[in-house]
Structures are given as C-alpha cells and as structure tokens.
Chain A
Amino acid sequence: MEGSEISMESGSSAPPETIDLRRELAETHVQDVLDQLDRELVGLAPVKKRIRQIAALLIVDRVRRRMGLESETPTLHMSFTGNPGTGKTTVALRMAQILHKLGYIRKGHLVSVTRDDLVGQYIGHTAPKTKEILKKAMGGVLFIDEAYYLYRQENERDYGQEAIEILLQVMENQREDLVVILAGYAERMDQFFRSNPGFRSRIAHHIDFPDYTDPELMQIAKSMLAAQSYKFSEAGEAAFESYIAARRKQPLFSNARSIRNALDRARLRHANRYFEQDGPVSLDDLMTIDAPDVLASRVFDSHPSEK
C-alpha cells in the first residue's frame, strides 16, 4: 500500500496527533466511488448507508495499520441478499472498486459466477473448475449469485459440497488475495447459512437490498431512458406508471431488471410504429416513448404472461 502524506516516518518520530480522515477519503478517491454510487443508483438508502459505514471502517483500519496499531487483515467477505434486480451485482462492482482503492484487493475486478461455473458433472471435475474460477478472481472479488444452489440438502454426495469446501478454505486462508460476495434471495440465503455455518462465520458484512417502490422504479426507468437519449411523453409516462403497478403483481417480477426489459420492448414497438405509418419523422419523435409503445404490453392482457 502506498503511504500518503500522513504516513509515519518509520519508527523514529512519534505518530502525529491528528489525522484528517476526510482527506484520506479524498486521497484514495473512495469518495468518488461513493458519489458515483449515489448518483447512479436510485433509492437503496439503507444499502448506501451500509456501504459508507464499511468504507469508514476500512479507512480507519487502514490508518490504524499505518500508525502501527495492532490489527490483522480484516475479513471482508459479504453477503448481499434481496430479490432479483435490486442492484446486488451493480453494487458488488462498485464495492470491488472501493476495496481496490483502499488497497484491500490488488486488482479490483469482479468475477461473477453461478453454481454451474463452479460445480462439475462427474467425479474429479469440480475441484479444477472451482480452482480455475478462484484463480481468475484472485486479486479481485468473486461474486457468487444464488449461492444456495451450491448446497443440495437432499443429496449428500452432490458435487457442490466439494466446491463449498474449497471456497471455505480459500475464504479463510487467502483473505488478502480475494473477497467473496454471496448473493441471492434473503430467505434462501438464511437457510443456506443455517445449513453451512462455516460460511456464516466467514462473512463479515450482510447487506439487505429492499425491493424498489413504484416511484423509485419510475425514476429508474427515466434514468435508463435518459442514458440512451429517450424520454417519455406525458401519456407515455402515465402508461408506464400503470405498467409498473401491473407488472409488480405478476410472476417473475424482478425490480429494476423488469424495468430494463420493459423499456427494451417499448423501444422495439416505438421503432416499428414509425415504420408502419407514412410521412416524415422528427427528431423529437425518435426520442419519445409514447403510450401505445407501453400499452401494447401483454402485462395489460387479461391472461397475463410476460416473456
């Protein structure tokens, strides 16, 4: 870790009396990542708060270590629980950057996997697969989505067990080399931790991702559109509001991801609508999602099923 200006000259002089933690935050550019998180992600207030707390802890830990105060490598493995589309993967990416900027991981990349990437199909297949992934993740963050699929209660000889054992070992022995984030639905993760206490004890931070409210989803929709130089017409916005309310009640609802998918389909209809009508198209037309683009969704059918 590079020393910054407040670093102590080795041993000789006494530690300086005061330390400017805020400057530390600025110098490591962690503040930039936190700001970016605030700007880019709608809502998620409790999550953002937890991240700031963790960042504060790590900065203090870093300063303490530099001052020669006793401290061992902190455990940084985390669990992110919440329904699909609540921003777990997105936040994990930012977390990797924060850990990198603070020097807790050397590279700062994120390797995102599921059971199939870790667990093999036959004897002797799992260990090399898991090791291969671990090797790729070294120096960064390993994000295991729906981690509970690693464990199959009903089958003692499931190959997932082998992956779990290797993971546990690395999480314990190579804490300076990588950080593991386990993610998935809250209840199933709870169940998983209960059956695998080894994991629970190695996880330092649990962060819960709440579902988004309707107004939050609306805001997310607008920011997603803006990022692609689209906007809603007034009628379009009203239509989308009712879309959100309807979609939430249907199966496989996945928060912000459902919004992203709905907008993709709305853009498709928008484009085709202009092909079906004659006459020239204005720049504004090209940017504006209107009510018909939304209302044609099957979400509004009497027998709802969304692909």
Chain B
Amino acid sequence: MRITQGCFSFLPDLTDDQIRSQAQYIIDKGWAVNLEYTDDPHPRNTYWEMWDLPMFDVKDAAAVMIELDACRKAHGDRFYIRLSGFDASHGWESVRISFIVGRPKTEPGFRLLRQEGPGRRQIYATQAYAADRPEGDRYKS
C-alpha cells in the first residue's frame, strides 16, 4: 500500500527539484520550514521526530535541501520524512502545508482491528504492521 498523508501523495514521488520548488514556495510565503521523520505513520501520530529546529530565517530552498539530505542520510529509507510550512501569523499559528518527501521502500500498511461491542457495534483500531517491531527496527528490509 501507499500511505497518502500530506498534500502530494497521489503524485509520483517528488524529485529533488520538485521538492525544492515547494520549499521555496513555503519560504517565499514567510513560513518556517520544518522536517520531521517517523517510523510510526499512524494517522493519529501527530508528533513525528523533529529534524533539528524549524528553519525560520532561510531565504533559499538550497538550505532546506542540505537538511533534507542530512536527514535522509541519517534516517533514509527506513523512515517516513515529511516537510511542512508553519505560519506564525495571527489567526493561523499552524501548519499551512505538509507533504511526504521520503518513505520506506516497502509499506506494509495497517491492520484494522475489530472488537465486538454491544449491539451491532464494532470497536475499531488501526495498527501499523510495522509497529509490531520496536521503534528504530521497523521497515528493515
């Protein structure tokens, strides 16, 4: 399967030049660029690990690419990496764009757990198959 979080997951994996164009868009908007990675892509896992602090003062996407390369070197194909733009202006103070820029080679996906509830109700839980292994050991090929 392919996890389709983020705003470009339905497009073919972005090339570095494509990532650069979106990073520059974020910078030009005056937003901070943030890189995060995780090996627990559960849709409710809000807090991915931060790769260093958000980049508040950069002017050019080349700066983002340096960090992305470093992040890939460290966490490469065994983690998901996402790039986001954070807008600190009043009324937003939130993420304004977020997309996946790196993912493991194979994505086994999620198991849907069902528990019989009262009446005809099901109690659902979603669990990544990869999460059966300890953190850091997932998505090893």
Measuring CB to CB, which residues of chain A are less than 8 angstroms from any residue of chain B?
A: 106-107, 109, 131, 134-136, 138-140, 174, 176-178
Contacts and interface: CB of A to CB of B under 8 A. Distances in A.
Interface stretch (B54-62, B113-121, B127-135): B54-62
A138 B55 CA distance: 12
B60 A107 contact: yes
Contact of A106 (B55, B57, B60, B66): B60
A223 B39 CA distance: 63
Nearest to B63: A135
A106 B58 CA distance: 13
Dominant SS among interface residues on chain A? loop
B87 interface: no
Given A135-B66, A139-B63, 13 more contacts: A106-B60, A107-B60, A131-B66, A134-B63, A135-B58, A136-B58, A136-B63, A138-B59, A138-B63, A139-B60, A139-B62, A176-B62, A177-B62
A109 B55 CA distance: 17
Interface in B53-99: 55, 57-63, 66-67
12 contacts: A107-B60, A135-B55, A135-B58, A136-B63, A138-B59, A138-B62, A138-B63, A138-B66, A139-B61, A174-B62, A176-B62, A178-B62
Most chain A CB within 10 A, of B57, B58, B62, B66, is at B62
A131 to B, nearest CB: 7
A135 B65 CA distance: 10
A139 B66 contact: no
Contact of B59 (A109, A131, A174): A109
A140 B58 CA distance: 10
Nearest to B24: A106
A284 to B, nearest CB: 46
